[in-house]
Structure 1
Amino acid sequence: MAGPFSDIERSIFVSKEVLSEDHQPDQILERDEEIDQYRHALQDVLFGRTPQNVMLYGKAGLGKTAVTTYMMEALQDEVTKRPDADDVHVHELNCNGKSLYTVVRTLVNGLLPEHASEFPKRGLGTADAFEELYTQLDRIGGTHLVVFDEIDHLDDVDTLLYELPRARSIGHITNSKVGVIGISNNYTFRQSLSPKVKDTLMETEISFSPYDASELRTILADRADRAFVEGTCDDSAIARAAAIAAKDRGNARQAIDLLRVGGEVATRGDDERVDDSHIVKAQELVQRGRLRNRIRDQTQHAQLLLETAAYIEQQGESPARSRTIKDRYEAVAESHAVDPLTTLKSIQNHLSDLHMLGFLQRRDRNHGEGGGRYYEYQLDLDPQIVVEIRQEAEAKPSP
């Protein structure tokens, strides 16, 4: 009896992983200027000097992490050929949802000798963790580059950026050198730092701008050459994927996803080539998938408020004031057996956050002294898709 996979004989993909989000290309395309800035910022390492601190800014999907990985690997390779350079140790951490203590503790545990006990999760303070970090850095010696991805999500980031870059100059370490590399999706992150941090950080700032359609076509053509069987991906598919992504956010990740999903659409349809019609079909699938991930990344109450806003939109009652949303939200929360937030202020804070994240539109209403001033909110997404995503999430059993 034939099995469910027995009739699968060929695929238009020859190396599908090239189109995956975690693929690290050997060559970085269309980021020559940023690479050149990075190169100058880190060149002191080649001569045994303390590295500059570097801050990278730009929205997701613009190549910040890929360029950083590429530069770290290239630097580690180059120092082996340079007699004046120290050994280079690279440490990479994602700060999203982490406390400062957790981040420093993770660094310490990555530096401890193989058979040493881990630094404790609790019972000691952040100062103790920093002290142990300095001890381990000096024990190992060399140059240490610490990459903090999503650094803008770290609590007490001022302490981190005041302490670590100054560790050698104020005598906390003597046998090693440290450079901080921060990656942020927030272009205004530096403005949130304290004046003393701004004055002492002395970092090189590298801003990653969105890709245009021509740049995205170059990137996609390179990926397509390696991902698909020769002759099975039309130029029209590459051009359409690049145009869609450039018009949206200039996001390379989105463009690559469109090409991959377009290939999957062609495969399911038993088509021998990927063309622009497959990319058009892929667009809705990719948008829905990204929106699903964005919604599921929100807190439980933020998701409930989005579901509430979707119902209000479907009933033709938007925009709505926060008081109206609160009443409807309480009913939605109770329908999911969730205790709702109890204060209007907490609701308003969540609504403001959802507006800042692009989920909601907000309108400022001012009716003078008699009517007062207030905000009205309206869903800035397709309400049906939001409701379907929320239904999927509620139907999925908890892990």
Structure 2
Amino acid sequence: MGIFDGATDGIYRDKDVLDEDYQPDQVLEREDEIADYRDALLDVLFGRTPDNIFLYGKAGVGKTAVTNFVLGELRAEVETRDTADPIHISRVNCDSETTYSVIRELANGLLPATHSPYAAKGYSTSDLFDELYEQMERVGGTHLIVLDEVDHLSDPDALLYQLPRARANGYLNDARVGIIGISNNYTFRNTLSSKVKSTLMETEISFSTYDADELVSILEHRADLAFQPGVCEDSAITLCAAYAAKDDGSARQAIDLLRAAADAAWKADDPTITDAHVKDVRDDVDRGQLHDKISDQTTNAQRVLEAAARLQNKHGEPARTREIQESYQQLARSYGDPDPSTSLKFAQRHLDDLEMLGFVIKSEENRGKGGGRSYIWEVDMDLETVIDVREDIEQTNAA
């Protein structure tokens, strides 16, 4: 008798709907955002250049799901419209990328099968732009370029200035371009040059975190698809939603928690998913979520966060900007960076971004009359877990 004999799906009907890459047929609790997205893309249906669109919001609040849904609907509608040009959707994850590497990836994605890919070296950025424009013109139609994690792009100004102006500058005649930027960083636009901001003229769509009621609605829909009837107790769904809403309002966290609780029930051969299963798996899921959130940040931002966490853990109180900067330098050197930044503004910028993302809390310190302005930073998550996660990430990167 084999070890897998008699194995069944048990409580599951379709476990795939709980996977991170599952794309639902309908996106719940994002009606306003979908309407704004639709309005910004309407010109595509009439052969005109669409608005550039930038989406802002924390991880797990529906930016990618809404993008996939809206672009799928747009593609289907374009096929029914004589006034619409064909659309070509290109997606690039900009994490740790440069304008050069992004343009190369976009150009390679448009090449015919008989053409060799553009090499990683041997071209100037200007040459690669020309190659991209040539391929866009050859293919024609409207090109929608989705730049995920656009705030992680090392030099965004060149890319975000050149592409929207390609027709105006005579590089494109038949083809049209629309940029869709997706960012976790609400302050990203402030980092762009004034000429880029005036060129983009983008539609901004902000995705707020989900509240508990919205998460219940999302989880109930997924549970109906994922489980056999009557398997998941209503209170277990409510508890998953409450935990996620209290943390960071992420649908991904709520769904991960529900899946982990379901796995616990399945492995124990329990007939229903209960509050007890949710409580049992919460710590492990929270740690995994924290690992993902931290690893999504740039290396320097992660190290600044770790520096703040280590200082707070050591002294039992939040740290000042300069203390964090000095601790960051020591950490960076210990991880093999021979020349870490010594600028106080460097630490301030990363700490401001971390505050916006909910990692830290900023308070102004009263230094008395004429003492100037000073800030202290409190890491708003479990310190030991932050430190452990960071050590895991560095060890993985070094392997």
Say yes or no: does 1:61 pair with 2:68: no
In structure 1, distance between residues paired with 2:331 and 2:147: 38
Structure-1 residue corresponding to 2:136:
137
Structure-1 residue corresponding to 2:125:
126
Name the SS for the 2:272 alignment partner. coil
Say yes or no: does 1:106 pair with 2:105: yes
Higher mean displacement: 167-176 or 156-165: 156-165
In structure 2, distance between residues paired with 1:327 and 1:40: 48
In structure 1, distance between residues paired with 2:42 and 2:35: 11
RMSD in angstroms over aligned alpha carbons? 3.3
Structure-2 residue corresponding to 1:261:
260
8 Å CA contact retained: 1:318, 1:377: no
Report matched runs for 1:288-303 at 5 Å: 288-297=287-296
C-alpha displacement of 1:348: 8.1
Say yes or no: does 1:182 pair with 2:181: yes
Give deviations 1:64-115, integer Å, cap 9, x for gaps. 1111111111111112211222211111111121101111111111111212
C-alpha displacement of 1:263: 0.9
C-alpha displacement of 1:273: 0.7
Closer, same or farther: CA 273–145 of 1 in aligned 2, 3 Å: same
Q: Which amino acid letter does the alignment assign opposite residue 382 of structure 2?
A: D
C-alpha displacement of 1:342: 7.2
In structure 2, distance between residues paired with 1:392 and 1:338: 12
Report matched runs for 1:316-335 at 5 Å: 316-320=315-319
Report matched runs for 1:1-399 at 5 Å: 3=3, 5-6=4-5, 8-297=7-296, 312-320=311-319, 338-339=335-336, 345=342, 349-350=346-347, 353-354=350-351, 356-357=353-354, 358-361=358-361, 364-368=364-368, 376-389=376-389, 392=392, 398-399=398-399
In structure 2, distance between residues paired with 1:327 and 1:268: 48
C-alpha displacement of 1:209: 2.1
Query: Identity percentage over the alignment?
Result: 49
Name the SS for the 1:91 alignment partner. strand
Closer, same or farther: CA 27–302 of 1 in aligned 2, 3 Å: closer
In structure 2, distance between residues paired with 1:326 and 1:71: 43
Closer, same or farther: CA 328–67 of 1 in aligned 2, 3 Å: closer
Give deviations 1:190-209, integer Å, cap 9, x for gaps. 33332223323232222222
In structure 1, distance between residues paired with 2:65 and 2:169: 33
C-alpha displacement of 1:351: 7.6
Give deviations 1:33-73, integer Å, cap 9, x for gaps. 22222222212222222222222222221211111111111
8 Å CA contact retained: 1:17, 1:227: yes
In structure 2, distance between residues paired with 1:341 and 1:85: 54
Give deviations 1:204-246, integer Å, cap 9, x for gaps. 2222222222222221111101111221111111112222222
C-alpha displacement of 1:6: 4.6
8 Å CA contact retained: 2:261, 2:277: yes
Stretches of structure 2 that go unaligned for 5 or more consecutive residues are: none
C-alpha displacement of 1:397: 9.2
Closer, same or farther: CA 268–81 of 1 in aligned 2, 3 Å: same
Higher mean displacement: 197-206 or 292-301: 292-301
TM-score by length of 1: 0.85
In structure 2, distance between residues paired with 1:324 and 1:195: 33
Closer, same or farther: CA 363–178 of 1 in aligned 2, 3 Å: closer
Give deviations 1:320-349, integer Å, cap 9, x for gaps. 557777887788789xx7457677836884
Name the SS for the 1:148 alignment partner. strand
In structure 2, distance between residues paired with 1:342 and 1:253: 37
In structure 2, distance between residues paired with 1:188 and 1:393: 26
Q: Which amino acid letter does the alignment assign opposite residue 389 of structure 1?
A: V
Higher mean displacement: 346-355 or 30-39: 346-355
8 Å CA contact retained: 2:304, 2:350: no
Higher mean displacement: 172-181 or 153-162: 153-162
In structure 2, distance between residues paired with 1:205 and 1:281: 40
Q: Which amino acid letter does the alignment assign opposite residue 195 of structure 1?
A: S
8 Å CA contact retained: 1:301, 1:340: no
Stretches of structure 1 that go unaligned for 5 or more consecutive residues are: none
In structure 1, distance between residues paired with 2:133 and 2:218: 41
C-alpha displacement of 1:312: 5.0
Closer, same or farther: CA 284–108 of 1 in aligned 2, 3 Å: same
8 Å CA contact retained: 1:56, 1:183: yes
Across the two proteins, how many residue pairs are aligned to each other? Answer: 396
TM-score by length of 2: 0.85
In structure 1, distance between residues paired with 2:211 and 2:286: 19
In structure 2, distance between residues paired with 1:180 and 1:302: 26
Give deviations 1:158-180, integer Å, cap 9, x for gaps. 22222211211221111211111
